[in-house]
Amino acid sequence: MDIHEYQAKELLVRFGVPVPRGGLAYSPEQAAYRAREIGGESWVVKAQIHSGARGKAGGIKLCNDRHDLWEAADSLLGKTLVTEQTGPQGKVVYRLYVEAAQAIAREYYLGLVLDRASERVMIVASAAGGMEIEEIAERRPGSVHRIVVEPAVGLQPFQARDLAFRLGFKGVEVQQVVKTVMGCYRAFRDLDATMVEVNPLAVTRDDELLALDCKMSFDDNALFRRPEIADMRDRSQEDPRESAAADRGLSYVGLDGNIGCMINGAGLAMATMDMIKLAGGEPANFLDIGGGATPDRVAEAFQIVRADENVRAILVNIFAGINHCDWVAQGLVQALEKTGLDLPLVVRLAGTNVEEGRRILADSGLPIITATTLADAAEKAVAAVATTAKTAAYAEAV
């Protein structure tokens, strides 16, 4: 789960990480009021969406008077911001963060992530802040410094000091860096985060170290014990399909294709999407119904796939072990009896109770396309989409 910049800053402040003064605004009037509260003569208005590269997309504006600030807030609120990370559909701006502008002397990058290779928390830092870490690593690989944290003892102050020296900090600045790095690590550890990123971590002309922009992501599986984090969830920033699936305990990732997929097991789901691509089609989603899916759960999963307006055919691929093929068949029939079938449906069943599952589908009288192998199912789904497209084109021409 991702959260907004202002929320990440609220959390990091609790762990001693310094941030500029700022306030949340939902209207231009409120933004102007926040500026009066903050004081000073210039402010930064930031669109709060779950995406990076907001500045390049016009989502961050520097304002030198309250009139400019009011106009900046008015232009951003309700705007669909398209960045490198949102895709062409973009994300709508519903809230703003107004912050005191800072005179920046130097910028740095600081990030904490879970490194799968070492199975440890890794701290990544660079003296080339203000850019994405991928760009930094490509353009200036020697500027990227890494620290692997030993889980038995956690991050040690001497490691943070060593990192500060490697980044070129000196004198009293070193202690500020140590405090910030240790604070970010404690926030990462204590809040079950999967990523903490401060970019840029800036030194101002007054020699003050500040986290100017922050991102945090959290482990969805740990939210049950972090209710204060779960409450920060902003559904307006989520794919509604993924949100609906998550509420039902389903693993769903929306894609840009037109063949909806309902599969049990992440590995089988990946293989199915590969086979669809190989057959010349495009998957519309990744959906894993998991093990032990009941007919009701199968019916809910089917409705989520079907709710995608881009879907032109649905492929159900089940290799039953813990699941039973008859449960899946019952769930499909249950869903179709309620809503009817207006899209081609290809079903491939294998494994536990497969004969009973196939019998249930056959006895339903529904126009379900059956397949015996994954390759056969993918080819039939792609062919069904092509047939549907031709029929629609003919009807439109007539």
3-state class (DSSP) for residue 264: coil
Closest by CA position to 283, among listed 377, 392, 394? 377
Distance of CA 112 to the CA centre of its chain: 17
For the record, the structure tokens of 251 come out as 């693993």
Is residue 46 within 8 Å of 35, Cβ to Cβ? no
Amino acid 147 reads: I
Q: Whole-angstrom Cα distance, residue 256 to residue 135?
A: 26
199 is in an annotated binding site: yes
99 is in an annotated binding site: yes
Closest by CA position to 202, among listed 256, 128, 137? 128
Catalytic residue among 108, 109, 185, 252: 109
**Is 396 considered catalytic here?**
no
**Is 355 considered catalytic here?**
no
Concatenating the DSSP letter of every residue in 271-327 gives HHHHHHHHTT--B-EEEE--SS--HHHHHHHHHHHHT-TT-SEEEEEEEESSS-HHH
Catalytic residue among 5, 197, 242, 379: 197
3-state class (DSSP) for residue 115: strand
107 is in an annotated binding site: yes
264 is in an annotated binding site: yes
What's the number of CA atoms in the CB half-sphere (13 Å) around residue 390?
A: 6
46 is in an annotated binding site: yes
User: Degrees (nearest 5) of the Cα angle 39, 43, 48?
Assistant: 120
30 is in an annotated binding site: no
For the record, the structure tokens of 189 come out as 């550890």
Question: Scanning the structure block, which residue is given the tokens 């081609």?
Answer: 344
Helices 325-339 and 354-363 cross at an angle (nearest 10°) of 20
Residues comprising the chain, all counted:
398
**What residues are designated binding site for substrate?**
264
**What residues are designated binding site for ATP?**
46, 99, 102, 107
Q: Please identify every residue annotated as catalytic.
A: 109, 197
**What residues are designated binding site?**
46, 99, 102, 107, 199, 213, 264
**What residues are designated binding site for Mg(2+)?**
199, 213
